[in-house]
Structures are given as C-alpha cells and as structure tokens.
Amino acid sequence: MNLMEWVQATLPELMSDHEIKPASAESLVIFTAKATVQLVPNEVIAQLVSFYAHLAEVPCLDSLVVHHCDDPIIFEWWGDKELWLGSKDFYVLRWSAEKACFCIGDVSNVSFGEDEEFPDFNDAVIHLATL
C-alpha cells in the first residue's frame, strides 16, 4: 500500500475535523532551501517534498504527528544530523545521517532496530501509524 492509499483508507476517519491538504508551493520552496543549506541529501529532500506536496502535515491524530514542512522543529536536532519529522506516543520519527535512513526510535535511541529503519519516508510513516 502506498502512502496516498493509506491516507485515503485511514486518515479520513482520523482527520474528520481536519482538512487534508498539500503544503503550499511557497512552503515547499522554503523547506527545500532550508534543507539544501543544511546539506540534507537530495534524495531525502525529494522524498519529504513529495510527501508534503500531497499532505502538509498530520496534526496529532490518535497521537500521530507528522510535522508541517514550515515547522522549525524539523531541524531542531540537525546538530546531530537528524531531522525530527514526527512522533506517535513516545516513538520518534526521524531521518538520521548516521543510519542514512528514516528511523523510528525514541528520544534516546535513533532506532529500535533494523525493523524500524526505512529507506522510504512513506513506509516509515505507515509503520509509525501502526505502532
């Protein structure tokens, strides 16, 4: 199942009080510029922009959050070469330069193991939602 199929199957029920909308073109340009300046790999930027072009954010639904591309919190951990992309309960979704993938862990652990490491952001979001 791809992300948009998952969104259509799962999120409408969760987002009944929220509009499902893409990030604005301006937001995507600003996010891309910030990520480029920080030297985030182009493939990671492309995956995130692709996600945000379809879905601007997931706003705390059943404790699942994917930060809006405008949210400065995404770059809060960049000193550790990590992008803080979202969370669910105590789980943290991030991209880690050290692991070169999207990871699900917690504040102290970048990843809980190989089963929580994903080359594809959409797969990581879907996995996080099922935890």
CATH number for the domain spanning 125: value is 3.40.1580.10
76 domain-assigned: yes
Condensed to tens digits (0 to 9), the pLDDT of residues 13-51 reads 555 556 677 899 999 999 999 999 999 999 999 999 998
**What is the domain count for the chain?**
1
73 domain-assigned: yes
pTM (2 d.p.): 0.87
Report the candidate in 110, 101, 35 with the shortest Cα–Cα distance to residue 74: 35
60 domain-assigned: yes
Q: How confident is the model over 106-113, as a mean pLDDT?
A: 94
By residue range, what is the domain housing residue 36?
A: 22-130
7 domain-assigned: no
4 domain-assigned: no
5 domain-assigned: no
Count of C-beta atoms within a 10 Å radius of residue 1: 12
Three-state SS across 32-93? HHHHHHCCCCHHHHHHHHHHHHHCCCEEEECCEEECCCCCHHHHCCHHHCEEEEEEECCEEE
- C-alpha distances (whole Å) from 56 to each of 39, 59, 100, 108 are 22, 9, 24, 27
94 domain-assigned: yes
34 domain-assigned: yes
Q: How confident is the model over 101-106, as a mean pLDDT?
A: 97
